Copies of this chain bind each other. A is one copy, B any other.
Amino acid sequence: MSMDSFLLDGQLRRFLEEDLEHGDITTDAIFDQETASARFVARQPLVACGMEQVAARVFCLLGGQLEFGQMAADGSRKDSGDVLLTVKGPVRTLLRGERVALNLVQRLCGIATLTARFVDQVQGLPVRIVDTRKTTPGLRMLEKYAVRCGGGGNHRYSLSDGVLVKDNHIAACGSISAAVERLRGRIPHTVKIEVECDTPAQVEQCLVCEVEIIMLDNMDTATMTEAVQRINGQALVEASGGVNLETVRAIAETGVDIISIGGLTHSAPAVDIGMDWI
């Protein structure tokens, strides 16, 4: 499991530039060529994400001779006190990069950890927990990767790579069938059509239009169960809205194929990770 480093570097550079502006005036005044060793330590149980491709890479971009020891594998479960990363290098590089590296991995591990909790809740059921486009602006690639590290899957990445007809589309266009008709023949044949439904009547329309994915939005579990039975394999069924750790298993038990959860990315609390000198 990994991300494309080629695509990450530009982002990491921008994050460093944001925190460095014209340089680290504290560190530059105090230190010269000293080297040190440091480790990233989990201060709570978590699912690891980004030690190699994010944290270590941040230090590498800042330059100087660096040696990395341990690196927690992406997706591995760690306990409080576990070492996630060890690095030896110039003090100036370590202190310069510390905050950006921590800000990133605390957030990514937070998302992976929350995702894993949802996945654990639905263990044994044939359902997939996925994210949404409710990601932090500028961090989508990283956050969607963190969801995968937590055992989840990804919904479409952007407005470009998936078709989702939402309530506002339907309202502005007039009807589901009108919207779907315009889509057929205009979108690439490689992409499925998904429609957001608030009511059983809309589900019926989707079936008439032979939509490939039907999203049941904010339905109660009874309505969802009926919808799943009515759809009966003619489309993938996705549940969305009002999903939390308490409700997710009941939703999964309705038989839906996919449960999408915006909170995986917009509300995952950052986990606590510290950088200590060795």
Residues on A lying within 8 angstroms of B by beta carbon are 2-7, 11, 13-31, 34, 36, 38, 61-63, 91, 94-96, 98-100, 102-104, 106-107, 128, 130, 133-141, 144, 153-165, 168-169, 171-173, 179, 182-183, 185-192, 194, 213, 236, 238, 257-258, 266-267, 269-270, 275-277
Is B20 a contact partner of A160 (Cβ separation < 8 A)? yes
Contact of A7 among B7, B23, B155 (CB under 8 A): B23
Contact of A25 among B5, B19, B99, B163 (CB under 8 A): B163
Cα distance A104–B136 in the bound complex, in angstroms: 8
A6, A36, A139, A189 — most chain B CB neighbours (10 Å) = A189
- Which residues of the other chain, B, contact A238 by a CB distance below 8 angstroms? 189
Are A266 and B275 CB-contacts (below 8 A) given A22-B160, A103-B134? no
For A137, the closest partner residue in chain B by CB is: B15
Could you pull out 18 A-B pairs where Cβ atoms are within 8 angstroms? A6-B62, A7-B17, A15-B138, A18-B140, A18-B158, A21-B161, A23-B141, A91-B172, A103-B134, A136-B139, A153-B186, A157-B188, A161-B161, A161-B190, A189-B192, A189-B213, A189-B238, A192-B192
Is B20 a contact partner of A158 (Cβ separation < 8 A)? yes
- Which residues of the other chain, B, contact A135 by a CB distance below 8 angstroms? 103
Is A266 a contact partner of B153 (Cβ separation < 8 A)? no
For A184, the closest partner residue in chain B by CB is: B29
A157 → chain B closest CB, angstroms:
5
Cα distance A186–B28 in the bound complex, in angstroms: 9
- Which residues of the other chain, B, contact A270 by a CB distance below 8 angstroms? 134, 266-267
- Which residues of the other chain, B, contact A179 by a CB distance below 8 angstroms? 30
Is A188 a contact partner of B154 (Cβ separation < 8 A)? yes
Is B20 a contact partner of A159 (Cβ separation < 8 A)? yes
